[in-house]
A and B are shown apart, each in its own frame.
Chain A
Amino acid sequence: MRFAAVWGLPPLLWQLAFFVTPLGFLVAMTFWSVKNFRLIPDATLANWRFILNAGFFRSAYVYTFWLAALTALIASLVAFPAAYTLAYRLKPATRRFLIFMLVVPFFTSYPVRIYSTQIFFSPEGIINALIAPLGFGPVSVLNTPTGTVVGYLVLTLPLVVLLQTFALMNVPKTLIEAAHNLGCGRLRTILTVIVPSARVGLIVAATFTFVLAFGDYVAPLYLGGSKPPTLSILIADQVKSGNHWPRASVVAAIMILTLIVVMTGMLGLAYGRRGGRR
């Protein structure tokens, strides 16, 4: 008990100082007002009323939520075969090497990676140069929602593969062997044994993707061309135009609330009982 108190306290204090306190400040600021570009402590609901009634906020909310959910789905589906191969098909040394390679992208900062992605997708960029001789294109990805999703995947895909791999590796091997011994085919083993057993990890991976994509600012700006803007861009816009930190705080508070609801729902799905199958 004392051990827990001593070693658990510093992170707790850290979170209190650098997460809970600023969060409280953020919520308080949603009730402030702005006069002549100056922030005035206040107790007004005007910011909430304005943002909740603004058409551009509603459309940005739906758009951001949809794109983040889509990214979570795509990342989960695309990552699964890779994670499956990593977990079950490779020698430990190869696996270790590839896992290391999946960490490498995190060595460079994310905005730098997004900027270099621009080079690939610009009208006269690498991809169009490659497909032009084959009679395709030009494809335009920059400044489209597709561009934004590509950026989100650059951010999340390596992480999802890693998380899924660890999840799959934790599935008791005996279960898989039992399925094989009882004559269960490969696909059916995956669907009825592996996926349900690795459920928690797979859902956590998808949730992570959603959280990262939902709040990302870089991809929708530099690959999506702010067309249309996501919530994170809306936050920046509110600050840029008229120093409106209170309105920006409202958008941020709603985003945090959304993430809490989504996380609670997803964790319920991950850890909740599933129709008595186990």
Chain B
Amino acid sequence: MTEFDGKITDFRGLLHPLNRRRFLQGASALAGAAAVGAANAPAPAYADDKVLNLLSWPGHGDPAFVKPFEDKYGVKVVAKEYVGGEPMLALMNQSPPGSFDVVLADAEYIHMLQEGGFIDKMNPADYPLADYWPEFQHFPPHWVGEDLYSVMIRFGYLGIAYRTDVLSAQDVESYKVLWDEKIKGKVGFFDWYLPTMGCLSLYDGNSKPFDISADAFDKLKKTMFSLKPQASGFYSMADQFSMLTNGTAAAIPGIGDWVVLLLQKNGVPVSATVPKEGGIQWTESMSIVSSSTKKDLAKAFIQYASSPEGQARSAILPAYWASIPNKKGWEVLNKEHPADAKALRLTFDERNVMDEYKDGKIHIRQTPVQQSIEDWNDAWSEFKAM
């Protein structure tokens, strides 16, 4: 028998270092992993009375935020996470009734949820709206006529996030910097059409960035497509953090403090700004899901989230930071986490986020008005594939 005859026909030889018992252990571990995977599957989550089911952007089920609520009510908050308003709408549409008790959605989708009959009317007196900054006490996207459908929990501004070792504060005074030779191949994008196209629409000079004519929409597409040679990539939520950190992206339009504040805390040389053409405001708001069987608990959760303590904790959510609309929440934050309040510009004695709002540079994010969501999405797909 020469070595050429050594064909492997018996694969047990390969298993030599693994005896049968270990092999079985491995197999059962695999089966276990599969079972855990199944348990993580979305919707018809838990009919359990001791569970509050939350549909939200990533990070809102974090113990750092929900623990006091869980302790007080002896319940567990289980969050199903999504990225982007359209996946949220899809989940609301597809999930069996009763899957969620509270939905945290961006303000621009509240009307769609209301029209679809997915969320309940709320009693304004149940929530501390009087403690909110006046600008946000009667926030239009949350109201249908005189009826309230959602309570604002967090907000933030979107402009340009950039590496301070590559670009200066003067550089980023205008969105024009995105076309700068210096950052060719280093302009990253958050892979969601709405924030980026909103900022570029402002650059195009549209005073209502989401309510634009067919001609302005064509121009917006041209503006966007001309950025392609500058592009470094299209990133998921998590990838934006790593790409700014490792320098693959030197600038990302359509994002803001929600990405850079945490990175700054880790010593990454990044900053965010609202350029002179203006910025977009994102808003996260909570509503009670109509099909919930635990509406009292849902109400209590939103009361907690809008309370001073809930607000302060939500502002420094480990997943991503944000501004909060409740002034008393600002007070708690300034008392307990003064450095974080300063970083977030939620202080009373210096220029703060509300001043920027008053400057009139901030435009509330909306879904497209004159075109369909599909039209904007298709333009985005086309941009990505160029």
Interface, chain A (partner B; CB < 8 A): 36-38, 54-57, 59-60, 88, 90-92, 95-96, 99-100, 103, 118, 122-125, 140, 142-143, 166, 169-170, 173, 176, 221-222, 224-229, 234, 237, 239-243
Contact = CB atoms under 8 A, between A and B. Distances in A.
B235 A225 contact: yes
Contacts of A90: 3
A37 B382 contact: no
B235 A36 contact: no
B385 A55 contact: yes
Contacts of B84: 240
Given A166-B7, A226-B191, A243-B87, 5 more contacts: A60-B385, A225-B234, A225-B239, A243-B90, A243-B93
A100 B87 CA distance: 43
Interface stretch (B137-145, B240-248, B339-347): B240-248
A242 B384 contact: no
Contacts of A227: 231-234, 384
A120 to B, nearest CB: 11
Interface residues of B, number: 46
A214 to B, nearest CB: 17
Contacts of B239: 222, 225
A158 to B, nearest CB: 13
Highest count of chain B CB atoms <10 Å: which of A59, A169, A226, A234: A226
A188 to B, nearest CB: 19
Contact of B234 (A59, A100, A103, A226): A226
15 contacts: A37-B93, A88-B4, A91-B3, A96-B14, A100-B14, A143-B248, A169-B4, A173-B4, A225-B239, A225-B243, A227-B384, A241-B86, A241-B374, A241-B380, A242-B377
Contact of A173 (B5, B16, B378): B5
A240 B42 CA distance: 16
B8 interface: yes
A96 B16 contact: yes
B229 to A, nearest CB: 11
Contacts of A95: 6
Contacts of B92: 37
B373 interface: yes
Nearest to B1: A92
Contact of B248 (A56, A92, A123, A243): A123
A38 B8 CA distance: 53
A100 B17 contact: yes
B2 interface: yes
B381 interface: yes
Nearest to A102: B14
Nearest to A230: B385
Main SS class of interface, B: helix
Interface in B216-258: 231-236, 239, 242-243, 246-248
A59 B93 contact: no
Contacts of A143: 232-233, 243, 248
B116 interface: yes
Contact of B13 (A96, A118, A166): A96
A37 B89 contact: yes
Highest count of chain B CB atoms <10 Å: which of A56, A95, A100: A56
B386 interface: yes
Given A92-B3, A96-B13, A169-B8, A241 B246 contact: no
A241 B193 contact: yes
A185 to B, nearest CB: 19
A241 B6 contact: no
A124 B247 contact: yes
Given A55-B385, A103-B14, A242-B377, A122 B8 contact: no
A56 B7 contact: no
A176 B4 contact: yes
A217 B14 CA distance: 30
B237 to A, nearest CB: 12
Interface in B83-99: 84, 86-87, 89-90, 92-94
A100 B11 CA distance: 10
A242 B374 contact: yes
A72 B375 CA distance: 37
Lowest 9 CB-CB distances: which A-B pairs, in order?
A225-B233, A56-B385, A143-B233, A173-B4, A243-B90, A241-B377, A122-B246, A226-B234, A92-B6
Nearest to B381: A56
Contacts of A103: 14
Contact of B233 (A57, A96, A124, A226): A226
A237 B381 contact: yes
A103 B4 CA distance: 22
Interface string B3-25: 11111100001101100000000
Contacts of A99: 8, 14
